[in-house]
Structure 1
Amino acid sequence: MDDQRGIVDFFRRRDQWQGEQTRIFNRLLNRLCCYADRETNLREKVRARHVFSTITGDDSFPEKNPQWEDWFQLWYALDYLNIRGYRHLDGYLHKYRTDLTDKELRMIASLMTSYLSVFRLQIDEESGCSMAREFFRGQDAGDLVLGLNGLEEGSPLYLLRPVKVGVYHVPAGPAAPVTRKQAKAMNEWLESMYQAEWRQRTDESFSWRVFMQRWGVGLIHWLDRVHGEKEQKGR
């Protein structure tokens, strides 16, 4: 019998290492959200709720979808611009930079460039890896290798915020399945908002990432519903 004791199980070690990176990331994200909640006063939080309600629609935080509070907390920590024009993510990095490990710094760098959007999920036939491509950008966006733990099977479209953690991209915060009808309504709204933003710009440096960090959270307006034409025009 061949002696297999000296053979390294690369895939098992990779999965163990990836699992540890994901745990580090989740702890970091939790600390960041706690920091955002702890470091701001009631007035700032009320302002943030108002901004969030304006972006997502007047019926924010419905009881039938408790995920909305999770969406808010993540948006508040990562994308919300406070009264001074800074994100809590920037403040956290400035305050704790010397205490963060190299791994955590790389994760924060990935968080800084991440945004919420709809992604099409599929399996790459050659590699067997789960891939995600942003639905709204078509061929302009590259594929991401995505860890799919916890996502429901059977839905090719998901609203999520992928962040590079280890060798995969993992969803930061909730991930919700999206129907094609919902995605169509989301796309129409995004297109109208993008054109409105573009007309207000005086330079050509307007990036998709910056736009989505500002408006992407508005996509949750269509979760668990598809509004009629009159409601869509009223947004």
Structure 2
Amino acid sequence: MDEKHASFIIDFETVKEQKQKHMENALMELYEKLFTYIDKEANIREKVRAKQIFSHKTGIPAEYILEHNTALHFEHWFAFDYITVTGSRMFDLFVREKQEELTKPMLDLSGFMMLMALEPVHIKAVEDDEIIFSGALDSSGGEREAVFFLKSSFSIKEGDTVFLRIVRAGFKNFIIGPPFAVADSDVADILSEIKTAGKEGRVRKYLKESGIDYLRHKKG
């Protein structure tokens, strides 16, 4: 191939890397804007109400909810799953009020993030910030990979059944917020309960509303 034609060859790997970086930057900015919005705009009475509901659902006394490890679970549940007194979720309110400030990649990601729920998965392998997993409710047993969006002081290992939120950004799956592993002895009952409650295609809706309830069964 001569030099003239070689200059027109597209480096697809570089293009892919640039697109991935662009989407990850959009995800980071969206995430930061969301929690800044919640910090500044969320009504204090809404937060008090949310703490009482979270306490009821998880069995964690309200006075302990804002301790470090529990606080991360509460903050992400409050952002993505909690339903306000007006019937909306904080993330939905954020997108509605700030959509003029969000780029197209952020708005595209927002559509996927609105659908996120704490879903149970079986961990096949863990290496640094990446996991290989299969859906605990998926009979096909297909394996996928996911990367922790923000690493923190939580621990999961191969063989665990874990609840986590996943969003697709570019070519990668990212784990949003803290995961939690459930006790091995409770796994069969938990999965059976979810399948029963989520009949007729309503598993996602059930997990969106009740996924945090299984924090009661947190391992160790």
TM-score bracket for this pair, using the shorter chain length: 0.7 to 0.9
Tell me how large the CA RMSD over aligned residues is: 3.5
Which of the residues 193, 196, 216 maps onto 1:221?
A: 216
Query: Is residue 114 of structure 1 aligned with residue 116 of structure 2?
Result: yes
1:162 aligns with 166
Q: Residue in 1 aligned with 2:147?
A: 147
SS at match of 1:161: strand
Question: How do 1:25-174 residues align onto structure 2 when only pairs under 5 Å count?
Answer: 25-59=27-61, 62=64, 66-122=68-124, 131-135=132-136, 137-139=137-139, 144-147=144-147, 154-157=157-160, 158-174=162-178
Structure 1 length as normaliser, TM-score? Answer: 0.71
Question: What letter matches 1:74 in structure 2?
Answer: H
C-alpha separation in 2, matches of 1:74 and 1:210: 17
Q: Measure the CA separation in 2 of the matches of 1:189 and 1:59.
A: 22
What percent of counterpart residues are identical?
21
| Counterparts in 2 of 1:88 and 1:194: CA distance versus 1, 3 Å | same
Tell me the number of residue pairs that the alignment of Structure 1 and Structure 2 aligns. Answer: 207
Letter in 2 for 1:115: A
* Alignment partners' CA distance in 2, 1:140 and 1:98: 41
| Aligned counterparts of 2:159 and 2:10: Cα–Cα separation in 1 | 35
Give the TM-score, by structure 2 length: 0.75
Query: In structure 2, what is the equivalent of residue 229 of structure 1?
Result: none
Range that drifts further, 67-76 or 137-146: 137-146
Report what 1:212 is aligned to. Answer: 207
**Residues 9/193 of structure 1: CA separation in 2 closer, same or farther (3 Å cut):** closer
* Partners of 2:194 and 2:203 within 8 A in 1: no
Q: CA deviation at 1:121?
A: 3.8
Secondary structure of 1:71's aligned partner? helix
Q: Equivalent residue of 1:171, what SS?
A: strand
CA spacing shift, 1:48–1:15, aligned 2, 3 Å: same
CA 1:152–1:43: 2 relative to 1, 3 Å? closer
Measure the CA separation in 1 of the matches of 2:16 and 2:185: 38
Structure 2 runs not aligned, ≥5 long = none
Paired residues of 1:33 and 1:74 also in contact (CA < 8 A): no
Tell me the CA shift for residue 85 of structure 1. Answer: 0.9
Larger strand percent:
2
State the Cα distance separating 1:38 from its structure 2 match: 2.1
Q: Tell me the distance in 1 between the aligned counterparts of 2:113 and 2:17.
A: 22
SS in 1 for 2:174: strand
Say if 2:123 and 2:157, in contact at 8 Å, map to a contact too: no
Aligned partners of 2:52 and 2:62 also within 8 Å? no
How far apart in 2 are the matches of 1:222 and 1:93? 32
SS at match of 1:86: coil
Contact 1:116–1:212 (8 Å) recurs in 2:
yes
Q: CA deviation at 1:194?
A: 6.7
CA 1:206 to 1:109, structure 2 compared with 1: closer, same or farther past 3 Å?
same
